[in-house]
Amino acid sequence: MGVTAPTAGVVSVPSLASRAVGATLELVVFIVIAAAFGVIDYYLDAVTGGLGVSAFWISFWAMAIWSAWCWPAAQRFASSFSGNHIAMLDGRPASTVTIAAREFTRAGLLYGLPLLAIETNVVPVLVLMALAGVFISRTAGRRAPWDLLAGTIVVEDFGGPATMIERSEVSSVADLQLDELRNRRNAVARRVVLSLGFTSVVVSVLIVWNIFSEAAEFFSAEDFSWSSLQGIGWFPRRGIFDVWTLFIGTLWITGIAIALAGPVGLGVAFYLSEYASPRVRQIIKPIIETLASIPSVVLGLFALSFITPQVLQPLDDSIGFASLLAAGLGVGILTVPIIASISEDAMRAVPTELREASYGLGGRRVTTSLRVVFPAALSGISAAFIVGISRAIGETMVVFIAAGGSGGAVLEYDVRQEGQTFTAAMASLGAGTDSVAGVGIAFQSLYALGALLFVITLMLNVLSDTIVRRFRQVY
Amino acid sequence: MEYPDTRSEDTPEHTEDEATVTSMIDTTALTPQSVGDDGSSTAPLDGRDVFTVEGLNVFYGDHHAVSEVDLTVKEREITAFIGPSGCGKSTVLRCFNRMNDLIDIARVDGTVRYHGVDLYDESVDPVAVRRRIGMVFQKPNPFPKSIYDNVAYGPRVGGQRGNLDDVVERSLRSAGLWDEVKDRLGESALGMSGGQQQRLCIARAIAVNPDVLLMDEPCSALDPIATGVIEELMKEIQSDYTIIIVTHNMQQAARVSDRTAFFTAEIDERSGQRRGKLVEFDETGTIFSNPGDERTEAYVTGRFG
Amino acid sequence: MHDRQTISLDSLRARRGDDAAGRLFLALITGAVLLAFLMVGAVGVDVVAESWDLLSNRLWGFLTSPSSADAGRAGVSQGIRGSILIAGIVILTFPIGIGAAIYLEEYANDTWVARLIQVTVRNLAGVPSIVYGLLGLAVFVNGLQGITGGRSVIAAGLAIAVLVLPIVIITSAEAIRAVPAPLREGAYGLGATQWEVIQSQVLPAAMPGILTGTVLGIARALGEAAPLLVIGAVGFYTTGNQDFVEQLRGAFSALPMNIATFAREPAETWRGHAAAASVVLLVLVFLINLVAIVVRARISKRLGR
């Protein structure tokens, strides 16, 4: 890949990567056109009953025609100045018809098939595309499918051979100026990038403003009274908002999770950092990363279908289908990689000199690990635990699936029973059918909880940052 | 423009010099170039001034790194900056093409004039400056692209459209690299040896046809043979470019340069920081055989540094 | 002083009692590692085992039928479509994250703006995913109803894109920061503007790292369920005669939603469906990771690393 050295008179080929970027930009244009048509369609709907044809298909045809006709025509026009001619990738010149046919096919593959897939059924179309790709690569070469997607048209460098830049005299400041185009591009790029950077700030502001304003509405609603925060349980649709129920549930889940993930995570971290050889590390690290990438829904399912019947019920058959204990263990599994990787980073950051000093004095690995590395990395390890706790508090799906209590929850101290956490309560509220209207105090309690959750996790994150910064041992 | 072949036929002198590269401080090896006995005329041209530096001071934040430098660089000469480590040679060099702009906390006071134009004038664009005043760095830093693309980068970025084959070939010839790489222009530049990579960086700098070449210890990461090759190269291309070289190796300065500037570092009493100062600046012959300042003499005779 | 004669091999060898603590510790942490392996293994085996029946008998049907009340006919085709659409929308927003990362690493000069953005991004990364669901509900479902059509896949995609944004920014920023300074210096030295240096050297060199970040983002996006619950993904829906755009703005589903719905069904018959849907999700995530690893390896090879 990359530019091969051209010899005079033959096509200079831009790399596959840059052509792929071009194809992606084309795709963006396609989506923009489609979105425009979509908006027009939406408003025309109100007036005349809509365009009648899917906006995406309109833009598909537009792009296909554009690709087939406009692009080669534009290239021909430009190349007429330089006297060069358009060539295909393999260097042969191409007629307009060939180019049109190729580009139309490409537009069809690039835009049409995915559209078809989405409108009908994804998997069969994807299989078809894969088969087509395999077929093309068998007949036209391994790179052919990718070249087809990225664009087959290639144009020689305009302007013929270039000469060495002229050395001009410098006599005044005016001679040391940059040309307008490059300057402008640089300035525009800078502004664009800055505004992109701002989006994150915008997002933060949106979240905070949003949640707190709705939460405020909850507290100021007519049928709200502070006494309703105390009750037999969390039954928002009946106006009973016993926050304590949720708090107990969250506490149990987090506690069980950390009780599992703390030792396991720390143990893995110690092993990776102090005991494992590089080869062993190469095996263990991917496993931990795999653990980290398991979606939480799957862990919720796992808690229900494995932990409960195979692990818990044999121990105590009073545990039902759903329980806080099962969910807590599930969240624990989720948290292991977090504690493991942050702790390991902290331990590895301890300079070797400290370890060598300990070994030099006759210490063994366990002594060094526990007496030297652990205290030195303590700030990082604490941060790991705090991040782990924050994650456990914020975990929704495992609890939603495996801890039960979706409609409402009675205050429950027994982990073997069903329970409810802040997050799962929010999920239940949001998913219920009476939230369509988005009104009602039951619904706004969702935001009140959200505000609480946001504040708690924010404080925890700030705490972990402060600990790392303030108490990091200076080496 | 004629592009000289870098391998000149009559080079018994050069082989001798390669052998003396590894000799320790040995004043007989310090044959200043102006008293050249290899037959080629190397008397310094009393040409135009390319750079005029007046009262140059460089600050990194609060640290006063370089103080009160005044010197003049003449056209088509090789000017060397020598001195012990940490005395600001590279810092001063980087002022000539405004590379210090890239460091947030760097501040430059004083004037640096290029053909009479103040380089640090508000309306001067550093990018335009760098096209005319090229730089080769201490550690070879080829781009992770093909050899061709490395050399073609400068012209392409500068807006050259069209087929750059010719430009690339001429630049590589000037750098004495063409014969070695002409069959593998499409290969990655990272596969070359250190000396080749550095010559590639020189070719890369030449490709935009600059007026001046700044070289920041270009040989310090290379073995003695490669060093010798680059020193030869410098003397060959001297007729087309003004060269300023910063070097740790004073024999190198003696071998190649027409004029030499000797820098030293003073310790500021109050802050304990090192501050670079220009001690002496003169024709190379004078610096090495008859220096005016006793510090210069101490350095070039090896009593310190 | 010890009597030298009493030093024997015995006393040099660690006494069993001394080493017990060491061996216990090693046993404990090895146990921890094994337990971690066991967790991964158990999840994998359980999911595959539970789904085996369904997948081996009815794979095609499962992949191509929508969900239904009849366990014998239920499938995840609508979930697949929704997940892919969401992933597509998320991918479209990656340039925003990468742009923000470029700003933080290349343009920002330690000003309050830059620090504000950095702090904000780090805090956003730690916000629970369901809060992003709330945001999506308020802004994309209710606020921008005209464009998104209310509880639609567009709203869900946008909400999850916002969720993934901090991850992309942080990993891209790391990748950009890791590009070695000499590469940038070389490009600047040849007279390139800041944007040209970024576009032609920094970004290509940072590509492997940025790619990793985007893949992490996509994997995360595919697996997130909590925001979907709040925004209103459903298990099953009909599209009737809706054209493509109306479909985009109408009811939607997603794989994680399918998994959650199946899992919460009390009847045993649905256990297999939940597991099978999990397998589909995991395979999808795995494929994406695989593609990214391959592309990343090839780019790294080209960069010479």
Output the 3-class SS for C150-201.
CCCHHHHHHHHHHHHHHHHHHHHHHHHHCCCHHHHHHHHHCCCCHHHHHHHH
Judging contacts by C-beta atoms under 8 Å, the chain C residues touching residue A49 are none
* pLDDT score, position A340: 94
Beta-carbon separation of C186 and B208 below 8 A: no
Looking at C15, C42, C58, the residue that finishes a domain is C58
CA A75 to chain centre: 39
Instruction: Show the domain range for C293.
Output: 65-302
C47 and C103 both lie in a single domain: no
How many Å lie between the alpha carbon of A190 and the closest alpha carbon of chain B? Answer: 16
Q: Which residue numbers of B have CB closer than 8 Å to C's CBs?
A: 97, 99, 102, 104, 127-132, 134-135, 137, 139, 141-144, 153-154, 157-158, 188, 190-191, 201, 204-205, 208
C73 and C198 in one domain? yes
Cite the beta strand spans of A290-427 per DSSP E: 409-410
Alpha-carbon torsion A309, A313, A317, A322, what sign?
Answer: negative
**Between the CA of residue C90 and those of A311, C71, C78, C97, what are the distances in Å?**
38, 32, 18, 11
Q: Which residues of B touch C187 (CB under 8 A)?
A: 143, 153, 157
C237 and C153, same structural domain?
A: yes
Inter-chain contact B131–C193, Cβ cutoff 8 Å? no
Buried b (16+ CB within 10 A) or exposed e, C198-225: bbbbbbbbbbbbbbbbbbbbbbbbbbbb
Q: Of the candidates C58, C90, C105, which is a domain's last residue?
A: C58
**Residues near C230 by beta carbon (within 8 Å), at least 6 away in sequence:** A426, A427, A430, A431, A446, C130, C133, C134, C136, C137
Provide the CA B25 distance to its chain's centre, in angstroms: 22
What is the rounded CA–CA span in Å between residue C219 and residue C255?
13
Residue B245 three-state SS: strand
- In whole angstroms, give the CA distance from residue A405 to residue B242: 81
**C93 and C170 housed in the same domain:** yes
Question: Which residue does chain B place closest to C185, by CA atoms?
Answer: B99
- Residue pLDDT, tens place only, C268-280: 888 888 999 999 9
* pLDDT tens by residue, B245-264: 999 888 899 999 999 999 99
Residue type, B278: L
- C33 and C133, same domain (yes or no): no
Q: Which of B127, B137, B142 lies at the smallest CB-CB distance from C185?
A: B137
Q: What is the pLDDT of residue B151?
A: 93
Whether C214 shows a pLDDT value over 60: the answer reads: yes
Cβ separation of B161 and A7 shorter than 8 Å? no
Query: For position C139, which CATH number holds?
Result: 1.10.3720.10
Chain-centroid distance of CA C139 in Å reads 23
Q: What is the pLDDT of residue A17?
A: 63
DSSP-derived secondary structure letter, B163: B
The model's pLDDT over A156-203, given as tens digits with 9 standing for 90+, comes to 544 567 777 777 777 787 777 888 888 888 898 888 888 888 887 788
C130: nearest CB among A198, A201, A423: A423
Q: How confident is the model at residue A446, as a pLDDT? A: 81
d(CA C185, CA C107): 15
Alpha-carbon gap, residue A398 to C25, rounded angstroms? 32
- Look at residues C58, C83, C99 and tell me which one is the last residue of a structural domain: C58
Q: Which residues of A66-90 are buried (b: 16+ CB within 10 A; e: fewer)?
A: bbbeebbeebeeeeeeeebebbbbe
C256 in contact with A, Cβ within 8 Å: yes
Q: How far is C118 from chain A (nearest CA, A)?
A: 9
| B143:C196 CB<8 A | no
- Calculate the CA A147 to chain-centre distance: 28
Using one digit for the tens of pLDDT, what is the confidence trace for B68-79? 899 999 989 999
C-alpha span between A113 and B221 (Å, rounded):
55
pLDDT of B197: 94
Q: How far apart are CA C296 and CA B261, in angstroms?
A: 48
Q: Are residues C205 and C287 in the same domain?
A: yes
Mean pLDDT of C234-262: 76
| pLDDT beyond 50 at B28 | no
CB contacts < 8 A (B, C): 67
Interchain pair B153, C303: CB under 8 A: no
Q: Does C138 touch chain A (CB under 8 A)?
A: yes
The reported pLDDT for the residue numbered B122 is 86
The predicted model gives C130-145 an average pLDDT of 84
Task: Say how many domains are in chain C.
Answer: 2
d(CA C271, CA A306): 11
Q: Are residues C108 and C185 in the same domain?
A: yes
A441 within 8 A of A221, measured Cβ to Cβ: yes
Q: Tell whether C289 lies on the interface with A, counting CB pairs under 8 A.
A: yes
Q: Is the ipTM of this complex over 0.90?
A: no
Rounded Cα gap, residues A382 and A387, in angstroms: 9
A394 contacts C130 by C-beta, under 8 angstroms: yes
Look up residue A353 and give its amino acid.
Answer: E
Residues of C in contact with B154 (CB under 8 A): 190-191
- The beta-carbon neighbor of B123 closest among A158, A165, A173 is A173
- In B, which residues are within 8 Å of A166 by CB distance? 209
Check B146 against A7: CB less than 8 A apart: no
Q: Which two tokens stand for residue A229?
A: 């925060």
pLDDT value for B23: 33
Let me know whether C106 and C252 are in one domain: yes
Query: Same structural domain for residues C25 and C90?
Result: no
Alpha-carbon dihedral sign for residues A295, A300, A305, A310:
positive
Contact present, A421 and A253 (Cβ < 8 Å): yes
Same domain, C15 and C99: no
Q: C52 and C87 in one domain?
A: no
Residues of A in contact with B185 (CB under 8 A): 5
Give the full edge-to-edge strand order of the sheet including A233-235: A240-241, A233-235, A409-410
Put simply, the answer to whether B161 touches A183 (Cβ < 8 Å) is no
C153 & C272 share domain: yes
Instruction: Give me the residue from A165, A176, A181 closest to B155, CB to CB.
Output: A165
pLDDT in tens, chain A (475 residues): 233 333 334 445 556 666 666 666 667 777 777 777 777 766 666 665 555 666 667 777 777 777 666 666 655 655 555 444 555 555 556 666 766 777 777 777 777 777 777 777 878 888 888 888 888 888 877 777 777 676 655 555 445 677 777 777 777 877 778 888 888 888 988 888 888 888 877 887 887 888 888 888 777 776 666 666 666 667 766 666 777 788 888 999 999 999 999 999 999 999 999 888 889 998 898 889 889 889 999 999 999 888 888 887 777 777 777 788 889 999 999 999 999 999 999 999 888 888 888 888 887 878 778 888 888 888 889 999 999 999 999 999 999 888 876 545 666 677 777 888 889 888 887 766 544 445 566 677 788 888 888 889 889 988 888 888 777 655 5
A267/C80 touch (CB, cutoff 8 Å), yes or no: no
Amino acid at site C303: L
Helix axes A324-348, A278-293, angle to 10 degrees: 140
pTM assigned to the model: 0.82
- Among the partner residues A5, A169, A177, nearest to B185 by beta-carbon distance: A5
Sign of CA dihedral C113, C119, C122, C124: negative
Tens-place pLDDT, residues B8-27: 444 344 444 444 333 333 33
Kindly state the average pLDDT of the residues C59-70.
82
